[in-house]
Structure formats: structure tokens, C-alpha cells
Chains A and B, each alone.
Chain A
Amino acid sequence: MPMLEVSNLNVYYGDMHVLWDLSFSIEEHEIVALLGANGAGKTTTLKTISGVLRPRSGSIRFKGVELTKLPPHKIAELGIAHIPEGRQLFPWMTVLENLKVAAYTKRARSRLSESLETVYRLFPVLKERSSQLAGTLSGGEQQMLAIARGLVMRPELLMLDEPSLGLAPKLALEVLELVKTLRDEGYTVLLVEQNVHHALRIADRAYIIETGRIVKEGSGEELLRDEEVKRAYLGI
């Protein structure tokens, strides 16, 4: 049984139909990338999984539990961490307070000190800045904090929305390498990424979305070699 199974999902913004019968699945311990142009429906998909948006029809099952009727905080408690686009930090709270809030759920709170060790090891700069207000961090540091918050939540499924957006190229690569490391450490990852080339290199499998529909799926390697993908997304 897949860890996450999305079937026939239909989502609307008012009268506008944005996701059309979307179906895909994620197995435990894999990186699945969701790729596509701006406005294709990637962010909408993540928001629907995490409960921020409600689908009109269809189902989302996480380890057998139906998510579509649950509010976001219940979904977080089940072990899904959604690291949204644009970092969405608490800007007037310190770095450490941001991390503490991320450990709000029962599953995360008891393991906070262990989690802090882990994220400080991954991002030493966050330890240095732990008493600084999150809003005063640089863009790269903010992105690290956003990812660190996701890890502190102790999720089973980590959903990352454009984690490399706005980062210097070198840092962007490091972030994607980190995603791979996380997979190797046992996390399952759903990755939305604008950098299709890098995403396909680290992804075990990927789905391509166009205007709210899945038009292609395959392993990262297959899609890297796919002529259509090359033309449409890799500029080759």
C-alpha cells in the first residue's frame, strides 16, 4: 500500500476548476517530484493534501487515513509536514521560537531537543542566530529555517514547495542534496520544484502536471531522457 494515495482529486477556486481528476501516489522512503510550469497546480496540490484547501471531490489517503475532511492541524499531527512556498516564517519570533512552535504537536514535542541537535548539525548558522528574529535573516537562512521547521515537526512525509526558490545557485544545489540525504535517513519526500533538471536528478519518481492534470509520470532518469520533457522543461 502506498504511503500517500491521491485519487481523482478535483479542486476549484470559486468557479475555476484547477485540479482535474488528479491521481498519484507516493511509496515510503522515496522522493517524488511534482513538476510543471507556473500555475499548473503544484502548490494547489500540496495545499489540498495539507488541508489548507478543500477538494470538491476525490480522496487523499495517508497510511490508510482519509485526509480530505480533516483540518490542517490534524493532518500535521498525523505526520505530514508541508513547508510552504515563500518560507512563511513567524517573522517577529526568534529562530529558536520558530523551531519550538514547529514542535507543537505531541509527536514532535517530546523529541524537540534531539530535533534541535539534528537541525543545528545540518544548518550550523541557525544555531548561531538562534536568538535573532526570523524576519531579519537573509533569504538563504530563512529557507534553511523553513526546512528546519519541517524537520522539527518529525514528519513521516515531508512536502517541500520550491525549497530552492530565491537561493543562490550553489545553495540551491545544497538544499536539493539535503533532500536526498533526508530520504536516505528515512524520510519520504514530495518535492515541488521549478528547477526540473535538478529535481529529476534526485527524484526516485516524478509526475508532470499541466493545467491541473497529470500528463506524464516515470522515474527521474526516464523523464530526464524523455524528449518532450527535455523540450518543454529542460530547454534542450
Chain B
Amino acid sequence: MLVSLADVARAIVSGVLIGSVYSLIAMGLALIWGVMDIINFAQGDFMMLGAFTTYWLLELAGLDPLLSLPVSFALVFALGVLTQRVVIERILQAPMVSQISATFAVLMMIRYGAEAAFGPFTRRVVTSYTGTVLRFSWTTIPLTRAIAFSISLVVAALLYLFLTRTYVGLAIRATSQNRMAASLMGIDIRRMYMLAFGIGVGVSAVGGTLLSTFFPIYPEMGGFFCLIAFIIVVFGGFGSIFGAYISGIIIGVTEAVSALFISPTLKDVVAFLLFIIIILVKPRGLFGARM
């Protein structure tokens, strides 16, 4: 099989586009981990809720995915705050096994709750522009993916501005770097936890909304995306939110290029291999810095 330069360029573009959606899910995971030292195994399932919010708002109210995006964020943010209050709050000081079990329990409730409510079927979000493509001399890009990429960039930029330019953002970062000192400066740690968890899963839901515009959705879809997000976060350096964004794109490109050169069925294997190599060579991840 001959692979032309244009094929590689196309693979890279498509990898960047899908990677930018992975990045959103991973950034949320990194935020939660960085602030609370909790690995949220339900991250992919909050993403799925974002996707289904978009689906139902389109089906029932005719709302365009771009308009349902803020709704999807807000709903899942609220659910995240509730999860923090009801579940996570109680296990913050618990042994790691209990923490894993607790977020895993949240995963089961969301995933199989959704399956019970919506059935196990695969659905598609279809809009007037679903089939539209942007034509370039050497490639075509589906409009939905281009939109997803642009919004992902905007969301990442907003998160960056929030964490570096606002008082609450500074307080969230302070909490992640030194809880005791933060509380002594007058920061309500519990409030920061609620915000971090809410924003962390909310950003993931935005990823779900964007994904749903070009990817079939089903209640169990969160599993793969949580795994990939986890790899991206470890790859980028735990707790580094912007490292997670870049790593998401690297993983997306790795998958797409290996699908081209090796086999589409093995694309994830290559991503996982790359992950293992990075962990062996650079155990703190590519970007060691904290948020």
C-alpha cells in the first residue's frame, strides 16, 4: 500500500480535530484530579450525558447543538456539584480503593441509568449541516468537526482565562497547590471542590455535545472516552490542564496516523503503546508543571 504525503496530512488534520474533543474530556479530568486528588472514573459518562442532552433537545425542542451546548454544560455542571456534595465530599479523606469504588459507582448509576431510560440503541444527532464539508484542494473537512475543533479551542481558552485571570480561578489553583494555605487565606475549600468538580464534568459534557454532532451516541459510549482521557492526562502530566489539552491532540494525531500506516483497528493499540513508552521514559508526563 502506498501512502502519499497528502494522506499523512489528511490523517494529521483529522487527528487534530478528534483530539481536540478528547482534550476537553481530559482537561476536566485533570482539573478534578489536580484540585481534589480524585480520579473521576465517571468522566466519560458525564460526557455521554452532555451528548444525550444535545440529542434530546434537538429531538424534542428542535434546538440546534450549538444552542444546546450551554444547556448541556449547565445541566452537567449542576449534576457535578450535586455529585460532589452527595458522594465525593464523603470520600475525600478515604483510602484510594474507596475513592475508586465511589466514582465507579457514579459511573454505573449514570451509564446504566441512561441505558434504562433511553435503551441501549445507537442514535445520531442530525442537523441541516450534518453532511456539509469544507473543501480544500488537498482535503475535505466535515463542517461539524471543524466547528467542534473551534469550540474546543474557545472553551480551552476560556478555562485558561478563568483559572489565571479571575479571583475564583486563582483560588481554585491555590487550593490545588496547597489546601491548608488556601483555607488560611480565606478560601472556602469545599466551595472550590464543588466548582472544580462541576466545571470538570461540565467541560466534559461540552465535549459530548460536540462529539454527538459527528459521532453516533449510545449510553455506554463513555467507557472508551474515559479511558482515552485518562491516558491523555497521565501522558500530559497529572494536574496539568493545559498539558492535557496538548496531549489530547497528540493522542488524536497518533491514532489517526497509525490508522493510516498500520490498521484502523489497531489505532488505539498504538496510542496505548505510546502512553506506556512515555510513562517509562518520563513518569511525570510530558508537561510536569501544575495548573
The interface of chain A, by Cβ under 8 A from chain B, is 50-52, 71-73, 76-77, 81-82, 84, 88-93, 97, 100-102, 104-105, 108-109, 149, 153
Does B186 contact A90, Cβ atoms closer than 8 Å? no
Does B180 contact A52, Cβ atoms closer than 8 Å? yes
Does A100 contact B167, Cβ atoms closer than 8 Å? yes
Q: What are 5 A-B pairs with beta-carbon distances under 8 A?
A: A73-B186, A101-B171, A104-B171, A104-B185, A153-B186
* A90 touching B184 in the complex, CB below 8 Å, given contacts A100-B167, A101-B171, A104-B171: no
**Closest approach, in angstroms, between the C-beta of A227 and any C-beta of chain B?**
38
Give the CA-CA distance A219 to B18 in the complex, in Å.
Answer: 70
Pick the residue among A76, A93, A108 that contacts B184 (CB under 8 A): A76
Pick the residue among A51, A82, A89, A101 that contacts B187 (CB under 8 A): A101
Q: Assess whether B92 is interfacial by the CB under 8 Å rule.
A: no
Cβ–Cβ < 8 Å partners of B170 in chain A: 93, 97, 100-101, 104
Q: Assess whether B181 is interfacial by the CB under 8 Å rule.
A: yes
Cβ–Cβ < 8 Å partners of B189 in chain A: 73
**Closest approach, in angstroms, between the C-beta of B191 and any C-beta of chain A?**
9
Cβ–Cβ < 8 Å partners of B183 in chain A: 51-52, 71-73, 76
**Closest approach, in angstroms, between the C-beta of A115 and any C-beta of chain B?**
13
**How many residue-residue contacts, CB under 8 A, span A and B?**
73
Q: Assess whether B267 is interfacial by the CB under 8 Å rule.
A: no
Cβ–Cβ < 8 Å partners of B171 in chain A: 101, 104
Cβ–Cβ < 8 Å partners of B145 in chain A: none
**Closest approach, in angstroms, between the C-beta of B92 and any C-beta of chain A?**
14
Does A82 contact B290, Cβ atoms closer than 8 Å? no
* A73 touching B187 in the complex, CB below 8 Å, given contacts A90-B173, A101-B174: yes
Looking at chain B's contact residues, is the secondary structure mostly helix, strand, loop, or mixed? helix
Nearest to B240 among chain A residues (CB) is: A92
* A84 touching B186 in the complex, CB below 8 Å, given contacts A90-B173, A93-B173: no
**Closest approach, in angstroms, between the C-beta of A212 and any C-beta of chain B?**
21
Does B188 contact A90, Cβ atoms closer than 8 Å? no
Q: Assess whether B178 is interfacial by the CB under 8 Å rule.
A: yes
User: What is the 8 Å Cβ interface bit string for chain B, positions 162-182, against chain A (1 contact, 0 not)?
Assistant: 000001001101100110111
Given contacts A50-B184, A71-B188, 19 further A-B contacts (CB under 8 A): A52-B183, A52-B184, A72-B184, A73-B185, A73-B188, A76-B186, A81-B184, A82-B184, A88-B184, A90-B173, A90-B174, A90-B178, A90-B181, A91-B177, A92-B173, A101-B174, A104-B170, A104-B187, A108-B186
Nearest to B192 among chain A residues (CB) is: A73
Does A77 contact B186, Cβ atoms closer than 8 Å? yes
Does A84 contact B184, Cβ atoms closer than 8 Å? yes
Give the CA-CA distance A90 to B183 in the complex, in Å.
Answer: 12
Cβ–Cβ < 8 Å partners of A105 in chain B: 185-186
**Closest approach, in angstroms, between the C-beta of B184 and any C-beta of chain A?**
5
Q: Which of B183, B289, B290, B291 has the most CB of A within 10 A?
A: B183
Cβ–Cβ < 8 Å partners of A109 in chain B: 167
Cβ–Cβ < 8 Å partners of A76 in chain B: 183-186
Cβ–Cβ < 8 Å partners of A90 in chain B: 173-174, 177-178, 181-182
Give the CA-CA distance A213 to B178 in the complex, in Å.
Answer: 30
Cβ–Cβ < 8 Å partners of B185 in chain A: 73, 76, 101-102, 104-105, 149, 153
